[in-house]
C-alpha cells in the first residue's frame, strides 16, 4: 500500500512538476557569474573545468531539492534530478514526497530533502583531485552550503516553530499554476500543508513573538492564493488556532538551539567572548558616532535619524566576483548582512555615511538583545530597555526589530558580528572594509574572518570564532 502511494508521487511529479520545468519564474533565479580562469601554471589548474562541471552538477541536484536554492544559485532543477528524487522516494517507501511546479521538492518533503542532501554531501567530500586555491575555497564553500541545508532541514522539521520560515519560502518562489487543474491540485496541497501546521500547534508551542511572525507571514501567502477556496479556509483555521493557543513564556531558554544554528549557518561559536567583543564594538561605535554628531543641528540629526531608520535590517546581495557560490543570493541568515555591506559601501555623501553608521550601530544593539533573550532570563521587551540604539525608533518599528532578535536570532547575530569585524581597526575604516567584503561575497563568517581580504586592514590574524 505504501508502495502504491509512493508510485502516485511519480504521477504527481509528472503532472504537477515536470510539465512546468520550463516555466520557472525568472524572478526566482539569479544569473550565474562568469568564471575567472585560473593561471595555467597554478597547481591544480588542469582540473578547473572539471571542478566547474562537478560543481554545476551538484548545484543542479540541490536546486531539485529546494526551490529556494534554485533561486539563490540561478540553476533551474533538471528533469533527471527530479526523477531521481522521485525514484529515491519509491525505494525508501516515502509517501510524503511532493514535487512543486518549479520542479523542486515541496519544502515539507523533509525526508526526501534530507536524502538528497546526504548524497550530495558524500559526493562533494569525495572529490580528491588537486584544485587551485580559488577552486579549493569554492569546494569548501559548497560542502558548507550542503551542511547548512542539512541543518535547515532539521530545523524546519520542528513544526510549528519553523512554520513562518516555510511559509516565507513558499512565497519567495511562488509560481502560478499554468492550468485550472494544476490550480486545483495546488489548492489541495497547500490546504493540507497548512492543516499540518495547525495540527502541530499546542499550548506553549510558540511564544507570542513567534505566533505573530507566523501570522504576518500568512499575509503574503493569502494575497497569492486569492480564489483558492480550500487554502483560504485553512489559513483562517490556522489563524484561529494561533489566537486560541496559549503562548509559551518568555524568554524561550533555547540557547542550545541558537548555538547550533549559529554554528551551522554562520560558523560562529556563541560564547561569552563573542558577546564581549560585540559589546566592545558597540561602545566604540556609539562613542565615535556621538562625537561626530556633537556639532550637528537638531534639524540635521532628525534628517540623519530618519535616513538611518530606513537602513536598518534591509536585505541585500553580495557580489562575490568570479565565484558562483560567493555571488549567489545569500541564505536568509545572512541576507541582512549583505544588505548592510551594500548600504555602507554605497554611502558616499557625509550624511549618508553617518546614517549608515547609525543603522550599523542599531543592528549591533539588536544582535546584543539576543543574549539576554535566548541565553539569559530576560523577556524581549525587558532586554530592549537595557540597551538602546542611538536614534529614536517608532514603537511599531521597534516591535519588528525586536521580533528579529526573538524569532530570527541567527540573522541578528550575523549582522552584529559583521559590525564587530568591520569596526576592528577603527571606525574610520568601516566603509573600505565593507566594500572589500561586498566584493569578496557571501560566505559563512568564519571563512570571511580568515580571508585574505583582511590583510590590508589587520596586521595580525584575528582570533577566529569558527565552530570546529
Tens of pLDDT, residue by residue over 132-185, are 999 999 999 999 999 999 999 999 999 999 999 999 999 998 888 889 999 999
Asked if the model's pLDDT at residue 378 lies above 50, the reply is yes
Asked if the model's pLDDT at residue 313 lies above 80, the reply is yes
CB 363 within 8 A of CB 402: no
Q: Quick one: pLDDT at residue 86?
A: 80
Helical residues (DSSP H) of 206-349, grouped into ranges: 208-224, 229-244, 255-266, 272-293, 298-309, 335-346
CB 373 within 8 A of CB 251: yes
**Span 103-113, mean pLDDT?**
88
- Quickly state the pLDDT bin for 40 (edges 50, 70, 90): low
CB 267 within 8 A of CB 446: yes
* Burial label, 399 (beta-carbon count in 10 A; 0-12, 13-18, 19+): middle
Q: Quick one: pLDDT at residue 402?
A: 97
Least trusted range by pLDDT, from 97-111, 253-267, 277-291, 303-317? 97-111
CA distance readout (Å), 244 to 193, 201, 240, 407 = 20, 10, 6, 20
- C-alpha cell at position 432: 573600505
Q: In the chain, what's the furthest Cα-to-Cα distance?
A: 77
- Quickly state the pLDDT bin for 455 (edges 50, 70, 90): low
Q: Quick one: pLDDT at residue 2?
A: 33
Instruction: Please report, for the chain, the start and end positions of each structural domain, with discontinuous segments joined by +.
Output: 2-157, 165-244, 255-456
- Quickly state the pLDDT bin for 92 (edges 50, 70, 90): confident
Q: Quick one: pLDDT at residue 3?
A: 32
pLDDT in tens, 197-210: 999 999 999 999 99
- Tell me which of 15 and 238 has the higher pLDDT: 238
What percent of the chain has pLDDT above 70? 87
Q: Quick one: pLDDT at residue 465?
A: 45
Q: Quick one: pLDDT at residue 101?
A: 60
Residues 6+ apart with CB under 8 A from 411: 332, 333, 334, 335, 336, 404
Asked if the model's pLDDT at residue 55 lies above 60, the reply is yes
pLDDT in tens, 333-366: 999 999 999 999 999 999 999 999 999 999 999 9
Asked if the model's pLDDT at residue 34 lies above 80, the reply is no
Q: Quick one: pLDDT at residue 88?
A: 80
Q: Quick one: pLDDT at residue 463?
A: 44
Which of 338, 332, 360, 315 has its CA nearest to residue 448?
338
3-state secondary structure of 162: coil
Amino acid at each position: 500500500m505504501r508502495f502504491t502511494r509512493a508510485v502516485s508521487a511519480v504521477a504527481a511529479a509528472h503532472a504537477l512538476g515536470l510539465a512546468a520545468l520550463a516555466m520557472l519564474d525568472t524572478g526566482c533565479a539569479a544569473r550565474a557569474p562568469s568564471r575567472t580562469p585560473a593561471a595555467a601554471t597554478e597547481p591544480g589548474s588542469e582540473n578547473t573545468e572539471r571542478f566547474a562541471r562537478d560543481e554545476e552538477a551538484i548545484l543542479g541536484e540541490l536546486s531539485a531539492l529546494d526551490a529556494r536554492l534554485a533561486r539563490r544559485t540561478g540553476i533551474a532543477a533538471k528533469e533527471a534530478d527530479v526523477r531521481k528524487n522521485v525514484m529515491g522516494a519509491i525505494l525508501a517507501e516515502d509517501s510524503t514526497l511532493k514535487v512543486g511546479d518549479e520542479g523542486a521538492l515541496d519544502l515539507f518533503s523533509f525526508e526526501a530533502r534530507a536524502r538528497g542532501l546526504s548524497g550530495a554531501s558524500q559526493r562533494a567530500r569525495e572529490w580528491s583531485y588537486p584544485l587551485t586555491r580559488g577552486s579549493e575555497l569554492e569546494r569548501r564553500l559548497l560542502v558548507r552550503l550542503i551542511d547548512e541545508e542539512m541543518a535547515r532541514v532539521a530545523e524546519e522539521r520542528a513544526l510549528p516553530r519553523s512554520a513562518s520560515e516555510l511559509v516565507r519560502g513558499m512565497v519567495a518562489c511562488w509560481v502560478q499554476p499554468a492550468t485550472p487543474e494544476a490550480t486545483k491540485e495546488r489548492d489541495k496541497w497547500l490546504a493540507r500543508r497548512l492543516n499540518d501546521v495547525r495540527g502541530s500547534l499546542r499550548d506553549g508551542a510558540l511564544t507570542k513573538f513567534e505566533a505573530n511572525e507566523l501570522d504576518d507571514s500568512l499575509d503574503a501567502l493569502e494575497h497569492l492564493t486569492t480564489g483558492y477556496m480550500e487554502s483560504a479556509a485553512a489559513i483562517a483555521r490556522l489563524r484561529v488556532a494561533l489566537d486560541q493557543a496559549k503562548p509559551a513564556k518568555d524568554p524561550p531558554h533555547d540557547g542550545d538551539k541558537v548555538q547550533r544554528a549559529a554554528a551551522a549557518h554562520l560558523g560562529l561559536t556563541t560564547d561569552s567572548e563573542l558577546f564581549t567583543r560585540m559589546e566592545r564594538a558597540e561602545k566604540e561605535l556609539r562613542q565615535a558616532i556621538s562625537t561626530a554628531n556633537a556639532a550637528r543641528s537638531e534639524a540635521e540629526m532628525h534628517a540623519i535619524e530618519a535616513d538611518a531608520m530606513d537602513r536598518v535590517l534591509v536585505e541585500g546581495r553580495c557580489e562575490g566576483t568570479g565565484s558562483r557560490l560567493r555571488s549567489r543570493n545569500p541564505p536568509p541568515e545572512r541576507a541582512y548582512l549583505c544588505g548592510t555591506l551594500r548600504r555602507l559601501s554605497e554611502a558616499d555623501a557625509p550624511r549618508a555615511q553617518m546614517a549608515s553608521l547609525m543603522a550599523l550601530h542599531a543592528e549591533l544593539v539588536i544582535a546584543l538583545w539576543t543574549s539576554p533573550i535566548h541565553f539569559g532570563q530576560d523577556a524581549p521587551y525587558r532586554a530592549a530597555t537595557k540597551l538602546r540604539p542611538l536614534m529614536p525608533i517608532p514603537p511599531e518599528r521597534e516591535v519588528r526589530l525586536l521580533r528579529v532578535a526573538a524569532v530570527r536570532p541567527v540573522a541578528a547575530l550575523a549582522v552584529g558580528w559583521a559590525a564587530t569585524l568591520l569596526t576592528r581597526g577603527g571606525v574610520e575604516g568601516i566603509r573600505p572594509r565593507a566594500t572589500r567584503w561586498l566584493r569578496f561575497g557571501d560566505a559563512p563568517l568564519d571563512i570571511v574572518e580568515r580571508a585574505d581580504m583582511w590583510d590590508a586592514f589587520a596586521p595580525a590574524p584575528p582570533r577566529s570564532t569558527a565552530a570546529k
